[in-house]
């Protein structure tokens, strides 16, 4: 109520004593008494702007905001030079959910009184509410200059976070907010919430270890916060600490069973876990479906698609990755090679942003549907309206998937292909597309879907335009062999490092290069280096590199003689790039598709000798290559031509095989009952 006292500076004439009395009642919380006083003043002078304004303020305090707007607006019409009038009108407009108009009133107050800090603070909040985050940040900056307190620094930090959340190009705002919060979180009104905000900024700024430390501290005081558990799990995921990530994703789902994304994250992480058997993973995927998807299964699913085995089929592709992404690099040449007399393609794009790859894919697809803003029910309605015959998922249990739309069965035939390396668990997913090398006999027991093996490979590869020429064998210049791995750090578990340690012990002059974005986090780089050292990979023989832009990453292979594939989650795009650039990949496949991608590539390239049957053979193969530079040079010189002549780049043959599989699926559906 101290702002009321500032009215005394304006009070003059015969109404001064009456207004002073009414204001005192107002300040003491006697709104009824104050209202009587203000109305008495207006009986004597109907144009008393102060009394009109203060009646409007009482209406605002009572929650009668529309009346307050009218009343204070009338006061401004009489005396528009009073900052407090504009300030209180802005507050009433903000309470009505009209932030744009509120911001204009706060600006008017500041034009009259630039030192009105409350008006500036409320202007900043109104701008933020209106989505004008950059302007809000500018106002909070001025507020910090006026009042450099922990409260104003925390407010600026919050505004910076909102700006960065709203604008993917403004990520530097997270770093600025983190710097402010490091200084001010302890003095915030709610230190725990401020510390959580600090952790979030650090997480978004890719300082995952520091973020995790703050999240752990928050959980020590608030162990039941599902959101913090989920964010902590995401940090551990990025750091490659998958066991810890799984634990916190599970706890997230236990605390928040209405957040099934956490359980899906567990499934994705299990693909990296060397101690998770294929049978356990399969059971976990079925468990997800029973808990999360089954409530959406339709009791019956009838379709009025034309039941003609020969007609052109309408194929729907659902993906969030129709942009610069490994999935699009594999999918694009097949979309281009489709026989339009046989299939009509409809792409359902489930991501808000677009890039140059998105534009190319749009041009290749016969129909394009942006669906990121649609609910599952709305997406299913669109798919049914498009009369899709075969709906193909390209995401599985990865970010921004639409598996719960597939659970509702919007199409007669539903297929999982690309983007994921395991069963979806969905009873409504009919097929999983694989190949003989990725899915040897017996793998069926791990899938709810029917495994359908394409003749040679489950995907093709089109090298991007930025791929460099094949470089010379680096060992020929350096005098020592460099083993390398450019995979996600999450794939480099202790069993992998133990085996790589054996390789380096067997080749004493060799070195190891590891490149991963997770190594930009300095504490994580130190942690990983110590982990390597425990397995005999000492720092003098280890080169660690952090993030490299996607179009510069292939150049790293110019410094690698032999690529060492991790397990049980082996390379995908990294193996394709290595092989295209002439770098042999030594792999140790297991039972799952996630462990057999590189093996499938090597079989298609006619290089089965690079596929180890056990750990001993993995080491022996690496040692033999390291000791035979002429062989390495020959492989490097010939791999690209071998690749270009292989099924991995025969887009027309692959598209034909895929379309033949679609036709077989369609005929199988026609031969069955008319329900899905």
CATH topology (fold) of 2-198: 1.25.40
Least confident of 165-169, 479-483, 529-533, 600-604: 165-169
Cα-Cα-Cα-Cα dihedral sign, residues 255, 256, 260, 261: negative
Mean pLDDT of the residues in the chain: 94
How does pLDDT run across 610-649, given as a tens digit for each residue? 999 999 999 999 999 999 999 999 999 999 999 999 999 9
How does pLDDT run across 345-362, given as a tens digit for each residue? 999 999 999 999 999 999
How does pLDDT run across 484-534, given as a tens digit for each residue? 999 999 999 999 999 999 999 999 999 999 999 999 999 999 999 999 999
User: What is the reported pLDDT for 147?
Assistant: 87
Residue whose tokens read 């397995």 = 535
d(CA 473, CA 633): 6
**R_g of the chain, CA atoms, integer Å:** 32
The domain covering 214-277 belongs, at the CATH homologous superfamily level, to Tetratricopeptide repeat domain (1.25.40.10)
Closest listed residue to residue 96, CA positions, set 105, 109, 108:
105
Domains 2-198 and 474-649 belong to one CATH topology:
no
Query: For residue 2, is pLDDT > 60?
Result: no
Q: Is CATH 3.30.470.10 correct for 474-649?
A: no
DSSP 294: G
CA distances from 492 to 31, 268, 270, 420, 515 (A): 68, 16, 14, 19, 11
* pTM, rounded to two decimals: 0.88
Q: Is CATH 1.20.1290.10 correct for 313-453?
A: no
Give the start-to-end residue ranges of the domains of the chain: 2-198, 214-277, 313-453, 474-649
User: What is the reported pLDDT for 676?
Assistant: 52
User: With DSSP H G I counted as helix, E B as strand and the rest as coil, what are the percentages for the chain, rounded to 5?
Assistant: 60, 10, 30
Closest listed residue to residue 297, CA positions, set 432, 450, 426:
426
- Sort 662 into a burial class: Cβ within 10 Å, 0-12 / 13-18 / 19+: buried
d(CA 121, CA 126): 9
Count other Cβ atoms within 10 Å, centred on residue 57.
26
């Amino acid at each position: 109520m101290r702002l009321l006292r500032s009215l005394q500076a304006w009070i003059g004439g015969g109404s001064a004593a009456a207004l002073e009395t009414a204001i005192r009642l107002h300040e003491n919380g006697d709104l009824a008494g104050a209202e009587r006083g203000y109305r008495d003043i207006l009986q004597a002078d109907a144009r008393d702007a102060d009394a009109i304004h203060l009646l409007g303020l009482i209406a605002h305090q009572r929650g009668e905001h529309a009346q307050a707007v009218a009343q204070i607006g009338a006061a401004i019409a009489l005396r528009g030079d009073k900052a407090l009038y504009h300030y209180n009108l802005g507050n009433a407009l903000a309470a009505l959910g009209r932030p744009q108009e509120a911001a204009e009133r706060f600006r008017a107050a500041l034009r009259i009184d630039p030192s009105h800090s409350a008006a500036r603070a409320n202007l900043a909040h109104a701008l933020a509410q209106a989505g004008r985050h950059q302007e809000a940040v500018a106002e909070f900056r001025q507020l910090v200059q006026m009042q450099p307190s922990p409260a104003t620094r925390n407010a600026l930090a919050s505004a910076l976070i909102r700006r960065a959340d709203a604008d993917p190009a403004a990520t530097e705002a997270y770093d600025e907010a983190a710097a402010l919060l490091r200084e001010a979180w302890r003095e915030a009104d709610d230190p725990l919430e401020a510390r959580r905000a600090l952790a979030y900024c650090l997480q978004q700024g890719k300082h995952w270890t520091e973020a995790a430390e703050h999240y752990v501290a928050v959980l020590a005081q608030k162990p039941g916060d599902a959101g913090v558990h989920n964010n902590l799990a995401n940090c551990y995921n990025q750091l490659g600490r998958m066991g810890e990530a799984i634990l916190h994703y599970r706890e997230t789902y236990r605390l928040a069973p209405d957040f099934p994304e956490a359980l899906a994250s567990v499934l994705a992480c299990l693909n990296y876990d060397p101690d998770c058997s294929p049978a356990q993973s399969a059971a976990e995927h079925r468990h997800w479906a029973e808990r999360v998807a089954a409530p959406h299964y339709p009791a019956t699913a009838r379709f009025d698609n034309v039941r003609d085995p020969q007609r052109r089929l309408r194929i729907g592709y659902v993906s969030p990755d129709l942009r610069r992404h490994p999935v699009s690099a594999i999918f694009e040449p097949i979309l281009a090679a489709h026989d339009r007399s046989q299939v009509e393609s409809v792409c359902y794009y489930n991501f808000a942003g677009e890039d140059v790859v998105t534009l190319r894919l749009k041009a290749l697809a016969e129909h394009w549907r942006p669906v990121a803003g649609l609910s599952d029910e709305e997406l299913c309605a669109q798919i049914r309206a498009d009369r899709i015959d075969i709906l193909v998922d390209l995401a599985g249990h990865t970010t921004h998937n639409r598996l719960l739309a597939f659970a509702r069965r919007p199409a007669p035939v539903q297929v999982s292909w690309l983007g994921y390396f395991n069963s979806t668990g969905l009873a409504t997913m009919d097929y999983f597309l694989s190949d003989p090398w990725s899915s040897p006999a017996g793998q069926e027991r791990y899938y709810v879907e029917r495994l359908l093996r394409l003749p040679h490979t489950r995907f093709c590869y089109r090298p991007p335009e930025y791929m460099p020429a094949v470089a010379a064998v680096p060992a020929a210049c350096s005098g020592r062999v460099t083993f390398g791995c450019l995979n996600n750090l999450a794939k480099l578990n202790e069993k992998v490092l133990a085996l790589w340690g054996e390789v380096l012990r067997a080749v004493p002059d060799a070195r190891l290069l590891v490149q991963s974005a997770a190594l930009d986090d300095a504490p994580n780089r130190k942690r990983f280096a110590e982990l390597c050292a425990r397995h005999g990979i000492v720092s003098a023989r280890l080169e660690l590199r952090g993030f490299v832009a996607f179009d510069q990453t292939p150049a790293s292979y110019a410094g690698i003689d032999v690529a060492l594939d991790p397990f049980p989650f082996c390379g995908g795009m990294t193996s394709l790039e290595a092989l295209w650039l002439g770098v042999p990949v030594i792999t140790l496949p297991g039972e799952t598709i996630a462990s057999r991608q590189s093996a499938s590539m090597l079989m298609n390239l006619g290089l089965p000798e690079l596929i180890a049957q056990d750990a001993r053979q993995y080491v022996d193969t690496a040692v033999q290559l390291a000791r035979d530079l002429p062989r390495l040079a020959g492989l490097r010189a010939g791999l690209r031509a071998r690749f270009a002549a292989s099924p991995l780049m025969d887009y027309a043959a692959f598209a034909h095989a895929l379309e033949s599989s679609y036709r077989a699926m369609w005929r199988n559906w026609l031969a069955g009952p008319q329900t899905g």
